Amino acid sequence: MSGAESEYTASVVGGSGFTGGELLRLLYQHPEFDVVQATSRSKERKTVGHVHPNLREMDLRFTSPEDLESVDVLFAATPHGVSMERIDEFEAAADTVVDLSADFRLDTEAQYDEWYDGHVRPEYLEKAEYALPEINRENLSGASLIASGGCNATATILGLKPMFDAGILEGDEQVVVDVKVGSSEGGAGGGDASSHPERSGIVRPYAPIGHRHEAEIEQFLGLSVSFTVHAVDMVRGASATCHVFPNSPVSKGDLWKAYRGSYADEPFVRTVAGGGGVYRYPEPKSVAGTNMAEVGFELDPSNRRVVVFSAIDNMMKGSAGQAVHAANVALGVEETAGLEFAGLHPVGSP
Amino acid sequence: MSGAESEYTASVVGGSGFTGGELLRLLYQHPEFDVVQATSRSKERKTVGHVHPNLREMDLRFTSPEDLESVDVLFAATPHGVSMERIDEFEAAADTVVDLSADFRLDTEAQYDEWYDGHVRPEYLEKAEYALPEINRENLSGASLIASGGCNATATILGLKPMFDAGILEGDEQVVVDVKVGSSEGGAGGGDASSHPERSGIVRPYAPIGHRHEAEIEQFLGLSVSFTVHAVDMVRGASATCHVFPNSPVSKGDLWKAYRGSYADEPFVRTVAGGGGVYRYPEPKSVAGTNMAEVGFELDPSNRRVVVFSAIDNMMKGSAGQAVHAANVALGVEETAGLEFAGLHPVGSP
Amino acid sequence: MSGAESEYTASVVGGSGFTGGELLRLLYQHPEFDVVQATSRSKERKTVGHVHPNLREMDLRFTSPEDLESVDVLFAATPHGVSMERIDEFEAAADTVVDLSADFRLDTEAQYDEWYDGHVRPEYLEKAEYALPEINRENLSGASLIASGGCNATATILGLKPMFDAGILEGDEQVVVDVKVGSSEGGAGGGDASSHPERSGIVRPYAPIGHRHEAEIEQFLGLSVSFTVHAVDMVRGASATCHVFPNSPVSKGDLWKAYRGSYADEPFVRTVAGGGGVYRYPEPKSVAGTNMAEVGFELDPSNRRVVVFSAIDNMMKGSAGQAVHAANVALGVEETAGLEFAGLHPVGSP
Amino acid sequence: MSGAESEYTASVVGGSGFTGGELLRLLYQHPEFDVVQATSRSKERKTVGHVHPNLREMDLRFTSPEDLESVDVLFAATPHGVSMERIDEFEAAADTVVDLSADFRLDTEAQYDEWYDGHVRPEYLEKAEYALPEINRENLSGASLIASGGCNATATILGLKPMFDAGILEGDEQVVVDVKVGSSEGGAGGGDASSHPERSGIVRPYAPIGHRHEAEIEQFLGLSVSFTVHAVDMVRGASATCHVFPNSPVSKGDLWKAYRGSYADEPFVRTVAGGGGVYRYPEPKSVAGTNMAEVGFELDPSNRRVVVFSAIDNMMKGSAGQAVHAANVALGVEETAGLEFAGLHPVGSP
């Protein structure tokens, strides 16, 4: 944690938002990174701990986002659209840029235009590497521009990937993905809908159709999904339930083999499928505050449906944790460095 | 509310459970019913208000379930299996019996055996009328044995029925139903999994496959669904999201016509589909404490999917409210009597 | 509920806020009032149900606050300071004005200036009657200007009043009042602090010192209290714990006698003090959605402390319910009319 | 984390409870301890991860509590009364015993008998060292029997101690302590009152008077407090609000000096008193999952009251974290080892 021992300097652009705060926490306690700058226009000159009360011991004040210090790694936790505008500045300031927005997640301008508005620097789309090591580890090593994935896309991709790896899914199947997310996904701003009285205790259709994370799923799995996102009463967490109808019959043994095959050696994915006790399937609570993803499944004999469950902390594996993990891989640091926190039990609505 | 003006006497067998408490509340404030007995083995001789703090003004003590008084209507809110054992006693005590368990919901012994254990009085399966007026109003009038539906089945049936009424669905389609329920569905008992520390903030696959309410859906809609239930952090409420793939293309206009056609005259179903503001689709919060169901839909142009949302208070429209509604119909009382409460805004996790 | 049968016309100025919504709900289901106007500058021309989803069946649209219709009773649910500016308009529009802000709660300009900013129409301070019938019933009858009390003041006054009535307290004692409130107290606006991620799961010192409701407590009890308010994770509810140190020893029998003496005939206060079961003392949950106040006490033999608990729904007994109750008394309507809802069990964070 | 590098072996007796789980988490990720045994009668032979889902990667199964392995440090997380029965076994198994129950917190048999039932091994009361380093660091070094403090006592003692250190309080003052706690304080068992439907959204007088933690406060501060505990809707956390009436006037400067004087060098206490932003005072959320205590204050000029706020995670600083901290001190390990986790922002009801 002490800067004296750290190998790399790091900065966070957009440090007063929720994902910015998580980045700062992870970097503050990371053995190989030393945070030298955190920017925030609205909180300039305030301490990091003024905004993020868990970081009161951190001796750092937000600076203007205009003057970027030279660092080894720059993490951008700004709203969609900012990074593509400032990419030249970011690259001038750092050898490695990790962007947490949607600006560089997709591969082509055509894809981007289909799901977002016009891209001002489309030439960077191909250059950027997607941050999820489980599907892109080999390309992350030495990467200079990394795009951290969308939280709901991350949960879905991790849940379904083993079925593609094992040939159980081929891409033309009917797949319904029903996602439940916490309020931190809305970011630190939020309007009426995210005020506590209106947001508490809800099961609210948040994106009934047309959620942009579908684009990432299609890009990486080659699968067009029926995707619906609900907001529920938790702060952290994203849970994707994928209702999958394989073309050929599949057994539980096939599924176990597929998931073990894909994830046995992954430090941040574990398979939880049945067994006894209270926690039989993936749950966001079980991984809250950690970089772990839980994936699992159940087989519905009545109609050959496979129900796949995937749970992550949207702020961690779905955002800041994934970004730090990718930076570790990019710089050749121990993959799990700074990401070892095991999570809590019991924990409420983390 | 005063017994002096009430037309009918009523009793609640199993009054100390959650649905028993809701029945007592509804009957206590019902203009046409006068509660003369509430039974509870575990709380015998305690006041109703000792268990249900909202009913401290109610001047009634629980009695043994053995000695049933003669009443016009007996509501049984006992665990599954009790009513079939005691049906002779219930019928001897009351002209109209409304059972809130699963004992008489299905039509045939074969159906029952498929989803539950052996029925000891299968001859009553055909006799009993399903309590949901929206699909069975004509048969409820004058019925002597009424079976209140399952909460998740009720939400699903109400959500999908208009598409069958309008011929948009025919019964052979792929339909995925992803349900989110509150903790009151587990009843007053509950084990480790329903303790506050373990149950707070969860998105927990509660019945990934094989939920028994599928049987009711199949019975009334002629549709075999892919059904998965999640427990989320609320106390009251059931929300069913139905991902429907009609055989033929459908427009938003077709959907509006279908839902208006089925529900324009229903006092306890309203259609909420889009529009502005915070509450654009059905939400359990919006109907908490009421007998209202909200249904709505969205059309996914990308793959001809219709996403149907249905939200109820599982304790009300999904149980005690439905039971009182059915009793109103059965006895020829004003349908909405005792069920007028409009609900609250804002409300947390009702 | 039908306007045809109602005796009085009513309007709500400021109908899109939380207390405005509660007023509309109560008046909509009130047998003697017929709502003819609800105003809202920000939601002009929207339906009431657009903002308050529980009121979708109500056939009314918000109008501009400029043009007030003539009614029998006008309820003002506007921010502090508005009513004193518009009091002439309000009085021109209605025979009876019930104001839910703090503008007319205090008796003198000196008091007002001590706790708030300068009053523009101080001559109305003496004229206005405080809305709490339990301490001011005789003056409410026929009153033309009524000031609904502050929620935390209401809870505290109702909790302590019996000890003054019985002479157990005299006004010079040390009394610490530690209040816990829900998020609806902050109103529909709210800033960062009331966003769901920041507001969930908190025990937050919200007003450590200097809360303005102290002024009302001092006015009505003649008691200067040590007052601290905490925000906790619920939407509705205010719970006041009063730590009282009487000058002379007191017994449990004395306390029971005092509380029964003050409240035996009150329709909206009940005493809950010990006994068995889960709900042994006052709790906001037990009265959520209702106009009931629960008060209770425990005696600490170790230091002659009396611990008094008082729980209300801040939106109801602490605001809109109290206002309607007072209007009932003012107009000679049945006191409990429109306020009979018994509340729910179980209920989450109502 | 790897056993190979650890200096000491450790065991947890009673590892399937909530505090047992926290101990296992802390020890699993502790650089100097290697967990070689976790016992649980009810979960014998189950993996640790079966009960504590955050610890699925931990390769350990619960064993019978009968056969204790020899270790350097044994942590006992058993219900009150067990450790005094088994103290000989514990001492035979380990050089250092850290007990998390109330069995050895008090100094004398007389004190114990006043607050608990008869002690079977009173000779150990004097021998045991209280685990809170902030008040007992010098005696913990090399201690062989350590008693981890009660969570509510810990919060209160840490909040008030600086005022005693600085001579602002002397022990004869009136002090009201109003505590708010989460549901994890009730432990993994729990009855009806702790089921999710009954426990959600509450402000419940949990121990209106006579809470046993008063004994520890009196023992360490020489102060008899008026103590009341409320249960509120969070899982982790204890917040103590102390209403203090010093004999002599005090200024904010005096208070800052006192708190800085006591805690400037403490790694696990920070002072939070005013300032701007959302988090101006101590909050349990800000320290959830960490071993940090937040203390702060506000001065009420109207009546010379000092309001002191103190917030901890009851499972950490109030139990397992305090125990590990004390063990670190006892064995001469770096004080903060294994306790560095900074906590999360935002976080719901942790």
Q: Which residues in chain A are closer than 8 Å to B174, comparing Cβ atoms?
A: 174, 245
pLDDT tens-digit profile of B64-87? 999 999 999 999 999 999 999 999
Name the closest residue on chain B to residue C293, using Cα atoms: B54
- pLDDT at position A350 over 80: no
From C208, C180, C284, C202, select the one nearest D242 (Cα to Cα). C208
- Number of Cβ within 10 Å of residue D120's Cβ equals 11
Nearest chain A alpha carbon to C196: A196
Question: Contacts by A91-96 with C-beta closer than 8 Å and gap 24+?
Answer: A91/A144, A91/A145, A92/A68, A93/A11, A93/A68, A93/A69, A94/A11, A94/A70, A95/A144, A96/A72, A96/A143, A96/A144, A96/A145, A96/A146, A96/A327, A96/A330, A96/A331
Closest-CA residue to B114 (of B86, B105, A251, B130):
B105
DSSP code, position D166: T
Confidence of residue B159 (pLDDT cuts 50, 70, 90): very high
CA distance A23 to chain D (A): 11
- Supply the pLDDT for residue B189: 66
Tokens standing for residue A19: 């994902």
Query: How high is the ipTM of this complex?
Result: 0.96
How many other C-beta atoms lie within 10 A of the C-beta of residue C1? Answer: 16
d(CA B154, CA B132): 8
With contact defined as beta carbons under 8 Å apart, do C94 and C145 qualify? no
Confidence category of residue B1, pLDDT binned at 50, 70, 90: very low
Residues of chain A within CATH 3.40.50.720 domain(s) are 3-127
Select which of A10, A55, A77, A151 is catalytic: A151
Q: What is the pLDDT of residue B190?
A: 67
Minimal Cα–Cα distance from B168 to chain A, Å? Answer: 19
Give the closest-approach CA distance of B286 to chain A in angstroms: 9
The reply to whether D247 sits in an annotated binding site is no
pLDDT recorded at residue A1: 41
Which DSSP letter does residue B195 get?
B
Asked whether the beta carbons of D214 and D160 are under 8 A apart, the reply is no
Cα–Cα distance, D254 to B227 (Å, whole number): 64
Q: Which residue has the tokens 């002629």?
A: B222
Q: What is the pLDDT of residue C70?
A: 98
What pLDDT score does A301 carry? 87
D283/C205 Cα distance (integer angstroms):
8
Q: How many CB pairs under 8 A join A and C?
A: 60
CA closest to B236 among chain D residues:
D197
Task: Residue D252: list chain C partners with CB under 8 A.
Answer: none
Q: Which of D23, D38, D97, D151 is catalytic?
A: D151
State the smallest CA–CA distance between residue B340 and chain C in angstroms: 8
Å from D101 to nearest chain A CA? 19
Question: Percent helix, strand and coil across chain B, each rounded to 5?
Answer: 35, 25, 45
Considering only CB atoms, which chain A residues are within 8 Å of D54? 286-287, 290, 342-345
Please list the residue range(s) of chain D that carry CATH number 3.30.360.10.
151-312
Q: Distance (Å, rounded) from C-alpha C52 to C-alpha C20? A: 10
Q: Alpha-carbon distance A40 to A296, whole Å?
A: 39
Q: Do D196 and B201 touch (CB under 8 A)?
A: no
pLDDT at C226: 97
What does the pLDDT look like over A179-214, one tens digit per residue? 999 999 987 766 889 999 999 999 999 999 989 999
* Residue of C44, C60, C94 lying closest to C74 (CA atoms): C94
* Residues contacting residue D325 through CB under 8 Å, at least 6 positions apart: D131, D133, D268, D291, D335, D339
Calculate mean pLDDT across residues C113-121: 94
Tell me the residue length of chain C.
Answer: 350
In this structure, what token pair is assigned to residue D184? Answer: 């994890």
pLDDT tens by residue, A57-105? 999 999 999 999 999 999 999 999 999 999 999 999 999 999 999 999 9
C-alpha B322/C-alpha B340 separation (Å) is 13
Least CB–CB distance from D232: residue in C176, C203, C307: C203
d(CA D210, CA C301) in angstroms, rounded, equals 9
Q: Return the pLDDT at D301.
A: 87
- The Cα C128–Cα C99 span in angstroms is 9
Band of the pLDDT at C1, cuts 50, 70, 90? very low
Residue contact D29–A56, C-beta within 8 A: no
Query: How many Cβ pairs within 8 Å bridge chains A and D?
Result: 125
Nearest to B342 among C55, C346, C350 (CB): C55
Residue in D188, D194, D197 nearest the CB of B235: D197
DSSP H or E run through B160: helix B151-165
**Res C2: pLDDT:** 43
pLDDT digits (tens, 9 = 90+) for A290-309: 999 999 999 998 878 999 99
Distance (Å) from the alpha carbon of B349 to chain A's nearest alpha carbon: 4
Residue B139 has which token pair?
Answer: 């048969």
- Whether residue A347 and residue D236 make contact (CB cut-off 8 A), yes or no, is yes
* D17 labelled binding-site residue: yes
pLDDT in tens, A246-256: 999 999 999 99
Residue C198's pLDDT is: 95
Mutate to test the interface with C, among A181, A200, A347 (most CBs of C within 10 A): A200
Alpha carbon of A299 to those of A255, B101, B229, D335: distances in Å? 9, 28, 14, 49
CATH, domain range D7-127: 3.40.50.720
> Quick one: pLDDT at residue D1?
41
Could you report the per-residue pLDDT of D205-224, keeping only the tens digit for each? Answer: 999 998 999 999 999 999 99
Question: Are A343 and A279 spatial neighbours (Cβ–Cβ below 8 Å)?
Answer: no
Quick check: B329 and B135 in contact, CB under 8 A? no
CATH superfamily of B151-312: Dihydrodipicolinate Reductase; domain 2 (3.30.360.10)
Report pLDDT for C117.
86
Report d(CA C194, CA C181) in Å as an integer. Answer: 13
Integer Cα distance of B335 and B339 in angstroms: 8
Inter-residue contact D345 to D329 (CB < 8 Å): no
Find all residues with CB under 8 Å of C278, minimum gap 6, and list them.
B53, D192, D193, D198
Convert the pLDDT of each residue in B252-306 to its tens digit: 999 999 999 999 999 999 999 988 899 999 999 999 999 999 999 999 988 789 9
Mapped to the 3 state alphabet, what secondary structure does D205-259 carry? EEECCCCCHHHHHHHHHCCCCEEEEEEECCCCCEEEEEEECCCCCCCHHHHHHHH
Task: Please state the length of chain B.
Answer: 350
Please state, in angstroms and rounded to a whole number, the distance separating the CA atoms of residues A49 and D272. Answer: 11
Please tell me which residue in B12, B125, B151, B273 is annotated as part of the active site.
B151
Query: Which residues of B touch chain D, with CB atoms under 8 Å apart?
Result: 18, 182-184, 186, 188, 190, 192, 194-197, 199-201, 235, 348-349
Flag if C307 and D205 touch (Cβ within 8 Å): yes
Per-residue pLDDT, averaged over C311-335, amounts to 98
The CA-atom distances, in angstroms, between D21 and each of A311, B198, D38, D40, D147 are 21, 13, 10, 11, 18
- pLDDT reported for residue A172: 96
Q: Is B242 an annotated catalytic residue?
A: no
* DSSP code of residue D326: H
- D112/D81 Cα distance (integer angstroms): 12
Strand stretches in B169-214, DSSP E: 175-181, 203-207
Determine the residue among C152, C192, C204, C250 to mutate to test chain D binding: the one whose Cβ has the most chain D Cβ atoms within 10 Å.
C204
Residue ranges for the known binding site of B for NADP(+) are 16-19, 314
Asked if the Cβ–Cβ distance from A350 to D345 is below 8 Å, we say no
What is the percentage of chain B residues whose pLDDT exceeds 70?
A: 98
D140 has pLDDT over 80:
yes
E strands, D23-83, are: 33-39, 71-76
CB atoms B349 and A281 under 8 Å: no
**Annotated binding residue at C6?**
no
Distance between CA atoms of residues A308 and A299, nearest Å: 9
Q: Tell me the CATH number of domain C3-127, given options 3.40.50.300, 3.40.30.10, 3.40.50.720, 3.30.450.20.
A: 3.40.50.720
Pairing of strands A94-99, A145-147: parallel
The predicted-structure confidence for D101-128, as pLDDT tens digits, reads as follows 999 999 999 999 999 989 999 999 999 9
Task: State which residue of chain C sits closest to B268, comparing Cα positions.
Answer: C57
Per-residue pLDDT at D349 exceeds 90: no
Task: Tell me the CA distances in angstroms from A276 to A253, A270, D196, one per residue in order.
Answer: 18, 17, 21
C287 or B187, which is more confident:
C287
Active site residues of C: 151
**CB distance C223 to C171 below 8 Å:** yes
Contact state of D307 with C239 under an 8 Å Cβ cutoff:
no
State which residue of chain D sits closest to C298, comparing Cα positions: D208
Residue range D147-203, pLDDT digits in tens = 999 999 999 999 999 999 999 999 999 999 999 999 999 877 668 899 999 999 999
Residue of chain D whose alpha carbon sits nearest to that of C276? D193
- Gap between the Cα atoms of D304 and D273, Å rounded: 17
Q: For chain A, what's the residue count? A: 350
What is the pLDDT of chain D when averaged over all its residues?
95
Interface of D with B (CB under 8 A): 18, 182-184, 186, 188, 190, 192, 194-197, 199-201, 235, 348-349
What average pLDDT does chain C have? 95
DSSP D60: -
Instruction: Using an 8 Å CB-CB cutoff, list chain A residues near D234.
Output: 348
pLDDT (mean) for C62-68 = 96
Question: What is the pLDDT at residue B301?
Answer: 87
HEC profile of chain A: CCHHHCCEEEEEECCCCHHHHHHHHHHHCCCCEEEEEEECCCCCCCEHHHHCHHHCCCCCECECCCCCCCEEEEEECCCCCHHHHHHHHHHHHEEEEEECCCCCCCCCHHHHHHHCCCCCCCHHHHHCEECCHHHHHHHHCCCCEEECCCHHHHHHHHHHHHHHHCCCCCCCCCEEEEEEECHHHHCCCCCHHHEHHHHCCCEEEEECCCCCHHHHHHHHHCCCCEEEEEEECCCCCEEEEEEECCCCCCCHHHHHHHHHHHHCCCCCEEECCCCCCCCCCCCHHHHCCCCCEEEEEEEECCCCEEEEEEEECCCHHHHHHHHHHHHHHHHCCCCCCCCCCCCCCCCCEC
Whether residues A281 and B208 touch (CB distance < 8 A) is answered with yes
- Where does chain D hold its CATH 3.40.50.720 domain(s)? 7-127
Instruction: Reply yes or no on whether the pLDDT at B2 is more than 60.
Output: no
Average pLDDT, chain A: 95
Residue in the structure block whose two tokens are 């426990």: D199
Cβ of C243 within 8 Å of Cβ of D228? The answer is yes
**Chain B environment of C184 (Cβ under 8 Å):** 346
Residue C4 pLDDT greater than 90, yes or no: no
> Distance from D168 to chain B by nearest Cα, in Å?
39
Residues of chain C with C-beta less than 8 angstroms from the C-beta of B182: 348
What type of residue is D116? Answer: Y
Tell me the average pLDDT across B86-112.
Answer: 97
Q: Which of D97, D71, D33, D99 is nearest to D337 (CA)?
A: D33
